[in-house]
Amino acid sequence: MKKILSGLFAAALGFATVPANAAGDAVPLPDYEWSFDGVFGTYDKASLQRGFQVYKEVCSGCHSLDLIAFRNLADLGYNVDEIKAIASEYTVEDGPNDEGEMFERNAIASDYFPSPFPNEKAAAASNGGKAPPDLSLMAKARVGGPSFVRALLTGYEDAPEGFETGDLSYNKYFPGHLIAMAPPLSEDSVEYGDGTAATVDQMAADVSHFMMWAAEPKLEARKNTGVKVMIFLIIFTLVMYAAKRKVFAKVH
Amino acid sequence: MSFKTNNKVVQWVEDRLPLISMGHHTLYEYPMPKNLNYLWNFGSLAGFALVTMIVTGIILAMQYTPHVDMAFNSVERIMRDVNNGWLIRYIHMNMASFFFIAVYIHIMRGLYYGSYKAPRELLWQLGVVIFLLMMATAFMGYVLPWGQMSFWGATVITNLFSAIPVVGESIVTWLWGGFSVDNPTLNRFFALHYLLPFIIVAVVVLHIVALHTVTSNNPLGIDMKGPQDSLTFQPYYTIKDLFGLGVFLILFAGFLFWAPNYMGHPDNYIPANPLSTPAHIVPEWYFLPFYAILRAVPDKLGGVLAMFGAIAVLFVLPWLDRSKIRSCKFRPVARVFFWIFLLNGLFLGYLGGKPAEGWYVVASQIATAYYFFHFLILLPVILPMIERPRELPSSIHEAVLKS
């Protein structure tokens, strides 16, 4: 009986590993460690705030973050006043007002991050024909997730001899290696408020961390709930097993 | 021990609508073979999965917007702003996979122990109908988030119908409600995705009625001959099913809370873009064996026929397998070929996830050929010639006492 049971689970898991990701000739990603990995993983708020700074000062020049509102920054450890202050640095279009005119105003906490370009065509036109993708879900929309983003940001190198790059850049981890985005980070691209040295590695780690939060803001609630549910289920199952044994003890 | 009551109200209802005695009969005194192993848990697990899908699905439908411009973001709203929306949506996503895991094990159990043989042919065929409806429902559900795989999966699968001679193109246009997969397609898929689960429930009811008419098969594949061979459903199989449910949910919770996107595809977190095709269009894992069969045949119509034929063959299986012995326990040759068939099916699943190039193509063709060989030649022609079944025990009770 136990053999059948364990065999089944092995089969079930075997099934689950079948959807091999058709990433082609992708280079294996480095094995990064993340604070949000593991059973009890949580986000590192200091890293999230640094990552947000990198997004704000570097990425947001080209990349939108459509699904994130300023109010969501509370997850990063900012209080209401700080969020209002951050929002007020941005202007958003509102309206129409009573005269029927659209107008611009400072953003408030409930506004979403404005896009750097008015539309996708404009974004493509300003970036050599390819619109920079939105970053809200980037950490879930690529094989490898946040590790892929981090590897990509640190994966720029000189193209091997004979490899024509044209206007594009060579990246070790990008599928096909030719990427339209020029290396976005360089030493001290930002100046961290907490004194952390802004190396390319550090900024890549922080902004990938931030993008994972943007893609999966409920991760902490999920793992937290999961631990409680799992404890309940294990107790429930043990009790059911004991009851089952007792009920079947009389059967011959 | 048929139903009796001293309660006057219950008796009053009972005289007019025998609901309580029906429940008593099906969930309490219904006789089950006493020798069932844990493989007999997966029917009730599939039922549990179906109910879970319907409950979470109805809640999701209250928040979801079936429009090409809003569907993707409405799903993200559920994930971010709806109270516990992430939980409901991840349950729905992952339970779809676990539903298929339970059903595939349930089907394999039926194959191994000959649960499709007389008098259970209709029971088996109703199961195949449920399986088909599940596949249609799952396919349309996967389209709803309107990500890249949603859109391109829908495009590839609906395009299959264009392989039908003469009227194919017209049928595809009719399915789409236009000249490409677009808003009308999404709208009707949503409507059908909401409808089909209730049709599945109806067929499940028929499946259970048929089951209770012919009673459960068992690992020995011989009939129950009296009370000494059976146990009442309550308390024996209620408690065993609950224990099985606990184990099932522990595995499920493992995926739900720690790897909710493991069985999905990253591309579906990219909004649908009709102008940009993903590098590889791959269906969800539970379709991969059939996807491999589809692509194995170089001709489009041939591929479609092979894919549907792979399921149609299950429909006539009760008449293809001519052995009178149900359980593979007593069929030394069929047992070996069962495992080869299972491995071949898993291999097809592996191939379905790979691009159609190089050795994968040839391997898919061989594995597809073997799939049909098993049902069309091995079972009806070869096995009856070479297999000498072992002797069956005279009763379940006797076999249980001996072991």
A243 contacts on B by Cβ (under 8 Å):
239, 242-243
Tell whether the model's pLDDT for residue A17 goes beyond 70.
no
Entry field: residues in chain B: 403
Domains of chain B: 37-402 (1.20.810.10)
pLDDT-derived band at A25, boundaries 50, 70, 90: low
Helices within B1-147 (DSSP H only): 8-16, 19-24, 42-61, 71-80, 85-112, 121-143
Model pTM? 0.93
Please answer yes or no on whether B87 and A225 come within 8 Å at the CB atom.
yes
**Which of B255, B258, B284 faces A223 most closely, judged by CB atoms?**
B258
Nearest-Cα residue of chain B relative to residue A143? B266
pLDDT-derived band at A250, boundaries 50, 70, 90: confident
Q: How far apart are CA B317 and CA B68, in angstroms?
A: 42
Tell whether the model's pLDDT for residue A215 goes beyond 50.
yes
Please answer yes or no on whether A243 and B39 come within 8 Å at the CB atom.
no
B101 contacts on A by Cβ (under 8 Å):
12, 15-16
The annotated binding site of B for a ubiquinone is made up of 212
Per-residue confidence (pLDDT) for residue B210, from 0 to 100: 97
Please answer yes or no on whether A241 and B251 come within 8 Å at the CB atom.
no
Per-residue confidence (pLDDT) for residue A24, from 0 to 100: 44
Mean pLDDT rounded to a whole number for chain A: 90
- Is B241 among the catalytic positions? yes
- Is B284 among the catalytic positions? yes
**Which of A72, A140, A227 faces B266 most closely, judged by CB atoms?**
A140
Helix (H) or strand (E) holding A250: none
B262 contacts on A by Cβ (under 8 Å):
16
Per-residue confidence (pLDDT) for residue B288, from 0 to 100: 97
Tell whether the model's pLDDT for residue A12 goes beyond 90.
no
Per-residue confidence (pLDDT) for residue B279, from 0 to 100: 87
Smallest Cα distance from B285 to chain A, Å: 5
Q: Which of B363, B332, B329 is nearest to B346 (CA)?
A: B363
B400 contacts on A by Cβ (under 8 Å):
252
Q: How far apart are CA A168 and CA B57, in angstroms?
A: 45
Per-residue confidence (pLDDT) for residue A27, from 0 to 100: 83
Which residue type does B70 have?
M
Measured at the CA of B224, the angle between CA B220 and CA B228, to 5 degrees, comes to 105
Nearest-Cα residue of chain B relative to residue A130? B276
Helices within chain A (DSSP H only): 2-16, 45-57, 80-88, 120-126, 145-153, 200-215, 219-248
**Which of B258, B262, B350 faces A16 most closely, judged by CB atoms?**
B262
Average pLDDT over residues A2-8: 44
Mean pLDDT rounded to a whole number for chain B: 96
The residue of B74, B86, B95, B268 whose CB has the most chain A CBs within 10 angstroms, and thus the best one to mutate to test that interface, is B86
Neighbours of B133 (CB within 10 A): 17
Per-residue confidence (pLDDT) for residue A26, from 0 to 100: 67
**Which of B262, B269, B355 faces A141 most closely, judged by CB atoms?**
B269
Contact between residue B145 and residue B68 where contact means Cβ atoms under 8 Å apart: no
Average pLDDT over residues A107-112: 97
Using the Cβ of A110 and the Cβ atoms of chain B, whether some distance falls under 8 Å is answered with no
- Is B15 among the catalytic positions? no
Interface of A with B in 28-67 (CB under 8 A): 39, 67
> Residues of chain B whose pLDDT is less than 70?
1-2
Q: How far apart are CA B34 and CA B334, in angstroms?
A: 25
- DSSP characters over B247-283: HHHHHHHHHHHH-TTTTS-GGGGSB--TT---SS---
Tell whether the model's pLDDT for residue A157 goes beyond 70.
yes
Per-residue confidence (pLDDT) for residue A252, from 0 to 100: 72
Please answer yes or no on whether A15 and B400 come within 8 Å at the CB atom.
no
Please answer yes or no on whether A20 and B354 come within 8 Å at the CB atom.
yes
- Is B76 among the catalytic positions? no
Please answer yes or no on whether A18 and B288 come within 8 Å at the CB atom.
yes
Contact between residue B290 and residue B134 where contact means Cβ atoms under 8 Å apart: no
Using the Cβ of A249 and the Cβ atoms of chain B, whether some distance falls under 8 Å is answered with no
A65 contacts on B by Cβ (under 8 Å):
none
| Choice among A3-12, A22-31, A229-238, B93-102 with the minimum mean pLDDT | A3-12
Measured at the CA of B246, the angle between CA B241 and CA B250, to 5 degrees, comes to 145
Q: Which of A142, A66, A92 is nearest to B73 (CA)?
A: A66
Interface of A with B in 146-185 (CB under 8 A): 175
Measured at the CA of A97, the angle between CA A94 and CA A98, to 5 degrees, comes to 170
| Catalytic, out of B14, B229, B284, B321 | B284
Contacting residues for B136 by C-beta, under 8 A, at least 6 apart:
B192, B196
Please answer yes or no on whether B250 and A230 come within 8 Å at the CB atom.
yes
- Is B212 among the catalytic positions? yes
Per-residue confidence (pLDDT) for residue A8, from 0 to 100: 43
B236 contacts on A by Cβ (under 8 Å):
247-248, 251
The predicted-structure confidence for B339-373, as pLDDT tens digits, reads as follows 999 999 999 999 999 998 899 999 999 999 999 99
| Catalytic, out of B117, B240, B374, B397 | B240
Per-residue confidence (pLDDT) for residue B224, from 0 to 100: 96
A215 contacts on B by Cβ (under 8 Å):
269
Q: How far apart are CA A62 and CA A141, in angstroms?
A: 18
